[in-house]
Chain A
Amino acid sequence: MSLRDTARAAPTLLRVSMAEALAYRAEFLVWMLTSTLPLVMLGLWTSVAAEAPFAGYQSTDFVAYYLATLIVRNLSGNWVFWHINEEIRTGALSLRLLRPIHPFVAYASTHLASVPLRGLIALPFAAVLLYSSASDRMVTDPRLLAVFVAAVAGAWLLTFLLLATIGCLAFFIEKSMAVFDVYAGMFAVMSGYLLPLPLLPAWVGRVAAVAPFRFMLSLPVETILGRHTPVVAVELLAAQWLYIAGAAVVASLVWRRGVARYEAYGS
């Protein structure tokens, strides 16, 4: 399977995946609704900040932060962990292995195809962000906007690779769900999903500064809100893509090891 063949198959794969995403609208909507946590946090922190600014954050800062979080999360989130895990468990993976295309490419196309739909759902939030009092928190510097776009793409890829790695753990252990739970807990706190990272207690903040989680959410959010200077933003972007390169190596290693010992269940 050469790269050229993959590239030739990609448009069709994406079209099929898009049709699938449309066919299972209800399931899709449920996935979307599971990521409304930022709205809850938005409600919480705006009413806390309405009494008095919290650690330098005013109500508008929280509104801008959580709306941006919701949008970035919508664009960069995927659930490939669940997808791979399920297919290994049920044996549906066997079919994929027969096809002349790397399953990672197929998974990636399924999850990429949902991005336009997810973007559609994020649109109203983006509109609020752009046309409410929160809009003056956004940057207009084209350099930062460029970093933002690259960082969102990177966030998607990093999430995909890390989740695919955890999904592949189902080849080796029965309780890969517990590993995902550990990941989810760390992600919620250290990616900026629950709280802006500067609000974290110092010791968690130090870990969060070097862990990969902030590159999956906090980096694009804080870039678009102008909390990084262009120089720092580019440095962080470079760090993000380093993480992506590392995650790609780990994911393909785990995958290769896993497939070697895969025995389809139920066969």
Chain B
Amino acid sequence: MRRYARLFWVQARASIAIAMQYRVDFVIQGVMSLYWLAWNLVPLLILYASRDVIAGTWDFSAALVVIAWFTMLRGLLEGAINPSLVDVVERIRTGSFDYVLLKPADTQFLVSTTRFEPWKLVDAVGGVALATYAFWLRGHAPAASDVALAAVMLVSAAVILYSLWILVVSAAFWVVRLDNLTYLFTAVFDAARWPVQVFRGVWRFVFTFVIPLALMTTYPAMAVLGRLDATTTAACLGGAAAFCLLSRALWLLAIRSYTSASS
């Protein structure tokens, strides 16, 4: 365990060192985050210009909390998950994945920590600011217990996001040329900015069970709003654990069928 913590630190330090070289990126990143935040709000503003409440309980400030959560998670996705994804898919395609396999450490751990983009932290800060604004609109701060529950849900959301990513990378072992996967990930994830209750029928089913976007943004937002009941919480945590195990199993299966690109 200590060894892995040290390994993680070494890889993270390398990413930070690279990020420090491109300090202008910090400014670009900040401007782009603001830009996307503004565009993301357009449909919401249009919707709430003529409606006070949608899907029963979602008023403007509550929907803002979901968007805030979405912004935070997108920072996580683009800062900690996508960069490594691009890297490992490229390695599988060119065959240099062999060298990763040779290293005396767990391969899944190695490929998931190869690259970070620390400047994406700006997104997380933006998310927190947006949530603060939403609660200012609501006129009261969230209860401490709700914040604690939301923190637990954040961990579970991160686990689900990470597991989905591992599932997608595993696919790259079979279908080699998939360098555009990050676009797919981002595109699908985009739907997570809406409270899942807004959708009906097939959509809600898909976003809750197949691609569990609801577990990533809606339920954590409900937790911080004090609306999440114990059963749903337990189901969320169970779902996260199940996804985690499933992705690990598929990853091991994929590794076993890897036949290198050059041979």
A residues in contact (CB < 8 Å) with B: 24, 26-27, 30-31, 33-37, 40, 43-44, 46-48, 50-51, 54-55, 79, 82, 175, 178, 181-182, 185-186, 188-189, 194-195, 199-201, 204
Contact = CB atoms under 8 A, between A and B. Distances in A.
B32 A27 contact: no
Given A30-B181, A34-B183, A34-B187, A47 B32 contact: no
Contact of A200 (B46, B175, B183, B203): B46
A189 B200 contact: no
B144 interface: no
Q: Which of A47, A188, A194, A195 has the largest number of chain B CB atoms within 10 A?
A: A47
A200 B47 CA distance: 10
Contacts of B54: 48, 51
B42 A37 contact: no
A158 B26 CA distance: 33
A37 B190 contact: yes
Contact of B200 (A24, A36, A43): A43
Interface in B197-213: 198-203
Interface of B: 25, 28, 32, 35-36, 39, 42-43, 45-47, 49-51, 54-55, 175, 177-181, 183-184, 186-188, 190-191, 194, 198-203
A162 B124 CA distance: 32
B42 A189 contact: yes
Contact of A47 (B177, B180, B181, B198): B198
A63 to B, nearest CB: 13
Given A26-B175, A35-B187, A201-B49, A185 B39 contact: yes
A43 B203 contact: yes
A266 to B, nearest CB: 14
Q: Which of A27, A37, A55, A181 has the largest number of chain B CB atoms within 10 A?
A: A27
Contacts of A44: 194, 198-199
Given A43-B200, A44-B194, A47-B198, A31 B180 contact: yes
B184 A47 contact: no
Nearest to B53: A51
Contacts of B187: 33-37
B183 A30 contact: yes
A84 to B, nearest CB: 15
A36 B49 CA distance: 26
Given A34-B184, A47-B200, A48-B54, A195 B46 contact: yes
Contact of A201 (B25, B46, B198): B46
A51 B56 CA distance: 10
Contact of B47 (A35, A48, A50, A79): A48
B50 A27 contact: no
15 contacts: A27-B178, A30-B180, A30-B183, A33-B184, A34-B180, A34-B183, A37-B190, A43-B203, A44-B199, A47-B200, A50-B200, A188-B39, A194-B42, A194-B43, A200-B42
Main secondary structure of the interface of A (DSSP, over half): helix
Contacts of A204: 42
Contacts of A31: 180, 183
B63 to A, nearest CB: 12
B50 A55 contact: yes
B96 to A, nearest CB: 15
Contact of B177 (A26, A46, A50, A201): A26
Contact of A27 (B36, B51, B177, B202): B177
B32 A178 contact: yes
B141 to A, nearest CB: 30
Nearest to B204: A43
Contacts of B46: 195, 199-201
Contact of B178 (A26, A50, A181): A26
Nearest to A43: B203
Nearest to B202: A43
Contacts of B175: 26-27
B108 to A, nearest CB: 22
Nearest to B174: A26
B251 to A, nearest CB: 19
B47 A30 contact: no
A188 B46 CA distance: 15
B35 A182 contact: yes
A224 B39 CA distance: 27
A47 B200 CA distance: 7
A20 to B, nearest CB: 11
A47 B55 contact: yes
Nearest to A181: B32
Contacts of A43: 199-203
B194 A54 contact: no
Contacts of A199: 46
A204 B38 CA distance: 12
A175 B55 CA distance: 41
Contacts of B200: 43, 46-47, 50
